[in-house]
Amino acid sequence: MPMASLFPRLPSEPPLDLSSRRRLLESMASRGSSEVAALVIPGFLVWAMSRYGSVASMLAWWAGFALFTLVLIDRRRRFRADLAARGDAAADRWEPVFQRLAVLNGLCWTMPVFLTLRVPSYEFKLLLYLVIAAVIASAATFLAPLPGVFFRFFAACFGPLVVAVVWMFPTRWPFILPLTLLYGVVICRHAGGTRRFVWQQFALERERAELAERYRGARDRAEHALAEKDRFLSTASHDLRQPVHAMGMLVEAALARNQDEGLAPVLQDVRRAARSLTGMFDALLDLSRIEAGTSAASRVAVPVRELFDDAATVFGGDAAARGLVVRRHLPRRHEAAVAGDPTLVRQVVFNLLQNALRYTQRGGVLLGVRSRADQWRIEVWDTGSGVAAEDRGRIYSPFFRGPEARSRVTTGHGLGLAVVARSAELMSAGYGFSSEPGRGSCFWIELPKTEAVPPPAATGVYGRVRSLAGRCLLVEDDPQVGPAWLGLLATWGATARLARDRAQALQCLDAGFDPDVILCDQRLAGGDSGFDVLKTLLARCPRAHGAMVSGELDTPELTEAEDEGYLVFRKPVEPDVLHAVLSRWLPTAPSPGDSGPGA
């Protein structure tokens, strides 16, 4: 039987790489049992031979075997030293050396077979064959992963056993020879199984290494994508806030100048829509930061009435266009306010309302709040299709959509309720639903009660008279925001000048404009840092007040400005907040009744 057929290679088995071969050679070289066996077992055979005749030749064999063992120990020591110096590259140099040593080692073990051919004792000869067979079995276990080493040892050790059977057992060799050959086949099969097992271990290690590398790559890509998303949100927030900021100022200026009482409700609706849009930008960014773990969910008072008003403003138009009604139910005796993160609470209510409208074809949706012990339960009722019994356990799973959503064209991707569940968990809030298929559903979230924060006192911003005087220098490069600033400040009675960058701002000062207040955007044309520009201008105007205005949320420059005590306005700036600050920094108008235009 060919040796290759006894020791087959798996069809998909790749050759061992250099690192794997180095590890196998290192494992073989670290074994001390073979050296111990080479010193002890020959001594035992010499003692057994002494019972049947002269042991001079066996003693010489033992001495030679011991000398070879010392050489083998020295070669292994040198291999380990070379391995420490060259690493995996040492495998190519030392594997042929160990192959030659394996041949010599096998011949050393079978030498007693030829030295004891004339010994008349069958018992000793059987003992000798059994000892060599045990040595071959032991070698098959730890040499098999290196076929070049194992086959040379096996051929040098087993071959002489087979050849000498006829002379060792002249009358019994027809029985012993087949058993010896069968034993050789079994050893080769065992060595093949050992080798396959070791190959599988290396294959698993390579697979684990590849999985770990893919995981690191996926993690790096995810972190890069997250960083890109944050940069995109920051940039998009800045760019989107600019027109919203300008729209808010223009609406406030229009409200202050409006003479048509019939137009006032329309302007008020536009103002609420602009503020709702601002809240959506803030919620998007805040939720992104909370999900990324860069900030924790806060717990402040959130007025339910304002929350429902915003939700009705955002979704009321779409509901009315589809013939649906959005109703609100609030306590009559108490002003409901919940303790939670404003962004997350808003996200929950908006998603629940949007989900209810998506699955409601006729009737309407009710936003309600009811008291339950020390909790307020915010509920969203609908007259839609309801939730089937088999879908109740999956309703909050990401990307899950009910049968009705799958059977007809609807917007959304099945993430709304998953966001509701995640937001509620971030606030440690209870949530759930009840539903009756064909009649509608009620989704709810429970949050702790808290005292409602009273609304800020009116500042007189929306009157038609001018309430401020003084001079303001605006450093703003956006073509929409700049004129809106000028229009609002003119409505309030302040004299304002607009500069796009550091150079224009310094030109205004050189022309004799002495501002009482300097408001500076952070991101300016030409790459100027708004904070550096503000400090330069305040150094020229030491009596002036200064503040930063930016559509960005978290930048090193804004953080530095706040740390140094500067006021930072975040776009879109609430006009009443801006007016309150300017009323402390600017002198009041000498004549409240004067309604002439500002500069």
Whether the pTM exceeds 0.75: the reply is no
User: What local confidence, expressed as pLDDT, does residue 3 receive?
Assistant: 44
pLDDT at 149 over 80: yes
pLDDT digits (tens, 9 = 90+) for 8-45: 444 445 566 667 777 777 777 776 556 777 778 888 88
Name the DSSP class of 8.
Answer: P
User: Which pLDDT score is estimated for 459?
Assistant: 44
- 462 — pLDDT class (breaks 50, 70, 90): very low
Q: Is the pLDDT of residue 590 over 60?
A: no
Mean pLDDT of all residues in 530-542: 89
Name the least confident of 144-158, 222-236, 571-585: 222-236
Kindly give the residue spans of alpha helices, DSSP state H, lying in 144-172. Answer: 147-168
24 neighbors 145 (Cβ within 8 angstroms): yes
47-61, 280-294, 320-334: least confident range: 280-294
- pLDDT number for residue 240: 65
Q: What's the pLDDT score for residue 598?
A: 34
Most confident of 82-86, 109-113, 342-346: 109-113
Query: Would the pLDDT of 464 be above 50?
Result: no
Q: Which two tokens stand for residue 172?
A: 């019994």
CA dist 366 and 2 (Å) reads: 85
Residue 286 above 60 pLDDT? no
Kindly list the distances between the CA atom of residue 240 and the CA atoms of 4, 87, 244, 245, 480, in Å, as whole numbers in the listed order: 73, 58, 7, 9, 12
CATH class of the region 471-585: alpha beta
Give the model's pLDDT for residue 597: 35
Percent of the chain at pLDDT above 70?
80
**126-130, 135-139, 176-180, 454-458: which has the minimum mean pLDDT?**
454-458
370-417 per-position pLDDT tens digit: 998 899 999 999 988 888 877 777 777 665 655 554 444 444 445 577
User: 3-state DSSP call for residue 228?
Assistant: helix
Query: In this structure, are strands 325-329 and 364-372 parallel, antiparallel, or unpaired?
Result: parallel
HSE value, Cβ hemisphere, 13 Å, CA-based, for 158: 25
Mention every residue, 6+ apart, whose C-beta is less than 8 A from residue 145.
24, 194, 195, 198, 199
Specify the higher pLDDT residue, 507 or 245: 507
> What is the reported pLDDT for 455?
56
- What is the predicted pLDDT for the residue at 467? 75
H or E segment at 349?
helix 342-358
Residue type present at position 455: P
| Token pair in block for residue 175 | 């029985």
pLDDT of residue 599: 30
- The pLDDT of residue 594: 44
What pLDDT shows up at residue 595?
41
pLDDT top residue among 54 and 2: 54
Write the pLDDT tens digit of every residue in 207-242.
888 888 888 888 888 778 777 776 676 666 656 666
Residue 495 dihedral angles phi and psi, to the nearest 5°: -90, 125
pLDDT band of residue 488 (cuts 50, 70, 90) is confident
pLDDT mean over 167-196: 85
Least confident of 337-346, 403-412, 543-552, 582-591: 403-412
What is the model's pLDDT at position 580? 82
Q: What's the CA gap between 553 and 427, in Å, rounded?
A: 23
Question: For the residues of 429-470, what is the DSSP string, one character each?
Answer: -EEEEEEETTTEEEEEEEEEB-PPPPPPPP-STTSSS--B-S
Mean pLDDT of 315-342: 86
Torsion of CA 493, 497, 499, 503, to 10 degrees: -150
CA distances from 59 to 49, 115, 156 (A): 10, 11, 21
Highest mean pLDDT among 15-19, 86-90, 424-428: 424-428
CB atoms within 10 A of CB 151: 21
Q: Residue 253 burial by CB count (10 A; 0-12/13-18/19+): exposed, middle or buried? A: buried
Compute CA 186 distance to the chain's CA centroid, rounded to the nearest angstrom.
52
CA distance 322 to 305: 24
Fold of 298-448: Heat Shock Protein 90 (3.30.565)
Q: What's the sign of the alpha-carbon dihedral 554, 557, 558, 560?
A: positive
Q: Let me know if 136 is exposed, middle or buried by CB neighbors in 10 A (0-12, 13-18, 19+).
A: buried
pLDDT of residue 293: 58
Q: Where are the domains of the chain?
A: 3-170, 298-448, 471-585
Residue 448, pLDDT > 90, answer: yes
* pLDDT at position 380: 93
